Structure 1
Amino acid sequence: MTPVVHVEDLRAVAGGTVLLDGVSFALAAGRVLALVGASGSGKTTTGLALLGEHAPGVVVTGRVSVAGRVGFVPQHPSSVLNPVRRIGGVFREIAAARGGQHLVATALRRARVPEELLRRFPHQLSGGQQQRVVLAQALVGDPAVLVADEPTTGQDPITRAEVVDELAAVVAQGVAVVLLTHDLDVVRALADEVVVLRGGRVVEAGPADDVLTRPRQEYTRALVAAQPRVTVPSEAPDTVPRLEVRDLTATHRRATVLHGVDVAVGAGECLAVVGRSGSGKTTLARCVAGLHESRTGDVLLDGRGLARSLRRRSSADLAAVQYVFQDARGSFDEHRSVLDQVARTAVRLRGTSTSDARRGALDALAGVGLDECTAARRPAGLSGGELQRAALVRALLARPDVVVCDEITSGLDTLTQAALLDQLADLRAAHGCALVLISHDLGVVARLADRVAVLHEGRVVEAGPARAVLGSPTHPVTTGLLGSAGRRTEEKRK
């Protein structure tokens, strides 16, 4: 078959740093090629080259040939949807610019966007619906190729399965897809070919089944082996609660998003909060951390109530409950070094001198593989995985009793994710810290959690020991999440 994408000896250099070093591959119509590898391996640079783009200061050479137009599906669909415009109005504008409503109508049909969604604003759409709308935008003009950048990152298992189905439907229509992803389950479900990148070089390439089930290279074997699986955990003993949430009701813009939530987690335990996008998981986490004031009910630390707002919490309480955000990059000041920001925690919350805090930060960062040269850079100079490790260290330097982790493994390659999970496990064992884990990844939940609470439409619909909830679920939402997470190659597009 004649390829619609042909990349030959693609090279990219930024200053003295080589980003890509001789990457080559080809892709035919109606086929999917997945680019996988650790953060910083060159996936995004390759995807940008297919779009005829590159980051500022990057020099790209080599041959990139595409037989037709290239569409783009971004990692976060909300970032490209106008929050104050209805979906239909945006598509009418696209139709006027592209010269015909029929092009838009065709794209909406191909992406399976129902007409009723056109009357809504982006915030009224689920994550899967937003991704479908962005897919329709990319399909306007009938592209030959779609570049999909982490299209399932941060999605719950049910929504992730929906996104996979939408992409598979487009591929069945003859569109080629270049998939940039860390999610090996999505690769198994969609990809025909896999290219494994490491340090800008192709270390292995071939049919997806061969690469993922019979990898030839040690690096590929490590990526596959590091992927967490949904297994039934061992039984956890009962403990005295360190953190309790009682009858928590929270509102947002006059809408109630949590209804009488009760959860608890003991010292050294991990409570995983799971559920579909929009179920209230992050709102619960923010209430615990004092970042969401519009709530009633109690948040107790060792039996003592915590103030609703960060501004009303003492330094000791601020140190006791630490929050690690999903978007690590957004949680750092882009103008200051990562080291200074990590060390600042010990200065502010524990009264440590600047010099001692800096030494402590360097020691802790070295423990997660970040040397002084890397830590001294501004955030833009670190990969997403490096920043996520730095964000966790920053929280731990407060010596907290509770750490709230909000989707901190989403978007990380399997090796970086495994290292982060090991660090969290060590934290619990060494310091008796309670961990509240917000996650869509049930493999991560199975590996870490002692207890699981399932949220649906702001209510706890199932809760208990992880062994019981994951091994013998009783609520349809839990069953649906586990069923979608368990989809494997046997359901792959024919």
Structure 2
Amino acid sequence: MIEVDGLAVAVPARPLVDGVSFTLPAARTLALVGASGSGKTTTALALLGEHPPGARVTGRVTVAGHQVAPGQPPPPGTVGFIPQHPSAALNPVLRIGTVLRQLAVRHGTCVSEALGKARLPDDRDFLRRFPHQLSGGQQQRLVLAHTLLAKPSVIVADEPTTGQDAITRAEVAAELSGLGVAVVLLTHDLGLARELADHVVVLKDGRVVESGPAVLDAPRSEYARALVTARARTAETRMEPVPLLEIAALGTEILREVTLDVARGERLVVVGRSGSGKTTLARCVAGLRPWTSGTVRLAGRPLPRSPRRRSRADLARVQYAFQDARASFDPRRAVVEQVARTAVRLRGLAVPAAREDAFESLAALGLGREAARRRPDGLSGGELQRAALARALLAHPEVLICDEITSGLDPITQEEVLNLLTDLDVTLILISHDLSLAAMIADRVAVIHEGRLIEHGPAAQVLHRPLHPVTRALTGLPEESPFVP
């Protein structure tokens, strides 16, 4: 079904992929794993005949009997692509049903069947929605439905469980395992790779360092062992008893009177299913979204609902690192200039001083000067995520809100970022679906479900002795099970 032999892709500045080879039979799954920038996406996009502008490509790629080369992609519908951030692939101005019906007519397929395989409803209310009215998990499944309507022989899935809660992740895994087509899985979720992949290819700096069916269970190379064993250290808490952030009866069209205090120096992890209201809560606190009722206080002083009404000091004190880092950067400007802009706007630094501060902040997160001078399209998703974090930290905030910022990172980079976060002298609010992350970093955990705060307390209590059935489901405990001691 897929044969890749000696694939090499190089841009003028550096090689991206060097001598990658693998084969994948029909109806089997292959996982490409490795650190951000290892060449996973470049390799996968070669299956579609896509390469970076100006790249030199050598080697041989064959998909479903079709030779693929730059300018010679396989026939339409042969390869389906599910991107890491599904919102980028959805038309924001067309209703869901309109796009699905257009695709079904083009390929002679059935909308209801595709939605059923993607575990989405096919009722009129759902089909009349726009993409922005769906949760991240629903958007991911909608892109899968789009892909299935084309009846592909191969599906390339780029981080399909990024930012998904445990329940949705299990649903996505079940969907991918039952498609009956060849699947190339790009993932940092090693548990998902173990669960789905018949063969695993480990990439580092564009080269294959190890491949085989049992790589993740018995890694031979030092690099693969580092991926499998990476764990962030647990930092000693520096939480003070005095609340820094006070959220009282906060209400929106999604949130239902959420009341929550966050102490100075606390690390709070907010968890819940996709669409539960976690990100809405975080955006309200950061001033990125207005609310209809309730208050948000920082150090005893009410914060305005709108960012336009917040002072420069208010904006600097509460910073937000976005889940979709690529969408938060201007594609036409160097990354370091955009990071430096934070220090210019919110701290009043002159441009040269701000640029040097930006270089230092980026270097602390593993991005050297050469990478920092590139435009966003010259960095991997993981590298851009680190750049987004550096940009937020350059404001010297008191409260740092991180929305799934580790979900697109490989285990080694995730460990590095989490270790950095635990060392920061800042109140940290982490929006996450990763309960293992919460166990490592959180002082307290808050669980949001259908816009309500359903459980809140010390991390050990919420994660190991949950009271609410939804929390039990998220932690993998059956609803009727007794408390775990």
TM-score normalised over the length of structure 2: 0.89
The structural deviation recorded for 1:107 is 4.6
1:198 aligns with 2:204: yes
Given the alignment, which residue of 56, 63, 67 partners 1:66?
Answer: 63
Task: Say whether the 8 Å CA contact 1:7–1:23 is kept in structure 2.
Answer: yes
The structural deviation recorded for 1:381 is 2.4
1:181-220 paired onto structure 2 within 5 Å = 181-207=187-213, 210-220=214-224
Which secondary structure does the structure 2 equivalent of 1:405 belong to? Answer: strand
CA distance in 2, matches of 1:279, 1:111: 20
- Equivalent residue for 1:326? 323
- Equivalent residue for 1:471? 464
- Equivalent residue for 2:285? 288
**What CA deviation, in whole Å up to 9, does each residue of 1:48-107 have, x standing for no partner?**
111222232223221112226322222233333334444443333233323x34x66665
Given the alignment, which residue of 15, 19, 25 partners 1:28?
Answer: 25
1:57 aligns with 2:54: yes
The structural deviation recorded for 1:30 is 2.3
Task: Say whether the 8 Å CA contact 1:285–1:404 is kept in structure 2.
Answer: yes
Task: Say whether the 8 Å CA contact 1:246–1:297 is kept in structure 2.
Answer: yes
1:218-257 paired onto structure 2 within 5 Å = 218-226=222-230, 239-250=241-252, 256-257=253-254
Which secondary structure does the structure 2 equivalent of 1:82 belong to? Answer: coil
Which secondary structure does the structure 2 equivalent of 1:40 belong to? Answer: coil
- Equivalent residue for 1:253? none
1:179 aligns with 2:185: yes
Cα distance change, pair 289–169 in 1 and its aligned pair in 2 (3 A) = same
Task: Say whether the 8 Å CA contact 1:157–1:484 is kept in structure 2.
Answer: no
Which secondary structure does the structure 2 equivalent of 1:185 belong to? Answer: helix
**What CA deviation, in whole Å up to 9, does each residue of 1:263-319 have, x standing for no partner?**
111122111111111111111111111111233211111112112122222222222
CA distance in 2, matches of 1:113, 1:392: 34
Once the two structures are overlaid, the 10-residue window that deviates more, 320-329 or 212-221, is 320-329
1:454 aligns with 2:444: no
**What CA deviation, in whole Å up to 9, does each residue of 1:185-208 have, x standing for no partner?**
11111111100011111000001x
- Equivalent residue for 1:490? none
Given residue 435 of structure 1, which amino acid in structure 2 is its aligned partner?
Answer: L
Cα distance change, pair 471–14 in 1 and its aligned pair in 2 (3 A) = same
Once the two structures are overlaid, the 10-residue window that deviates more, 127-136 or 48-57, is 127-136
- Equivalent residue for 1:488? none
- Equivalent residue for 2:411? 414
- Equivalent residue for 2:354? 357
CA RMSD of aligned residues (A): 2.5
Which runs of 5 or more residues in structure 2 are unaligned? 66-77, 479-485
Cα distance change, pair 357–213 in 1 and its aligned pair in 2 (3 A) = same
- Equivalent residue for 2:70? none
The structural deviation recorded for 1:415 is 1.3
Given the alignment, which residue of 355, 361, 378 partners 2:375?
Answer: 378
- Equivalent residue for 1:145? 154
CA distance in 1, matches of 2:251, 2:2: 52
1:297-308 paired onto structure 2 within 5 Å = 297-308=294-305
Which secondary structure does the structure 2 equivalent of 1:344 belong to? Answer: helix
CA distance in 2, matches of 1:199, 1:400: 34
The structural deviation recorded for 1:217 is 0.6
TM-score normalised over the length of structure 1: 0.87
Task: Say whether the 8 Å CA contact 1:34–1:187 is kept in structure 2.
Answer: yes
CA distance in 2, matches of 1:236, 1:227: 21
Once the two structures are overlaid, the 10-residue window that deviates more, 152-161 or 48-57, is 48-57
Task: Say whether the 8 Å CA contact 1:128–1:162 is kept in structure 2.
Answer: no
Which secondary structure does the structure 2 equivalent of 1:395 belong to? Answer: helix
Given residue 474 of structure 2, which amino acid in structure 1 is its aligned partner?
Answer: L
1:159-170 paired onto structure 2 within 5 Å = 159-170=168-179
CA distance in 2, matches of 1:479, 1:163: 19
Task: Say whether the 8 Å CA contact 1:70–1:145 is kept in structure 2.
Answer: yes
- Equivalent residue for 1:315? 312
Give identity over the alignment, percent: 62
1:119 aligns with 2:112: no
CA distance in 2, matches of 1:409, 1:273: 14
Cα distance change, pair 78–324 in 1 and its aligned pair in 2 (3 A) = closer
Task: Say whether the 8 Å CA contact 2:239–2:265 is kept in structure 1.
Answer: no
CA distance in 2, matches of 1:312, 1:114: 40
CA distance in 2, matches of 1:353, 1:141: 53
Cα distance change, pair 289–139 in 1 and its aligned pair in 2 (3 A) = closer
CA distance in 2, matches of 1:30, 1:83: 33
Task: Say whether the 8 Å CA contact 2:37–2:383 is kept in structure 1.
Answer: no
Cα distance change, pair 216–246 in 1 and its aligned pair in 2 (3 A) = same
CA distance in 2, matches of 1:481, 1:234: 26
- Equivalent residue for 1:394? 391
Cα distance change, pair 109–270 in 1 and its aligned pair in 2 (3 A) = closer
The structural deviation recorded for 1:148 is 1.3
Cα distance change, pair 169–404 in 1 and its aligned pair in 2 (3 A) = same
Given the alignment, which residue of 99, 102, 108 partners 1:93?
Answer: 102
Task: Say whether the 8 Å CA contact 2:112–2:122 is kept in structure 1.
Answer: no
Instruction: Give the aligned length.
Output: 464
Highest relative contact order (Cα 8 Å, sep 6+), 1 or 2?
1
The structural deviation recorded for 1:330 is 2.3
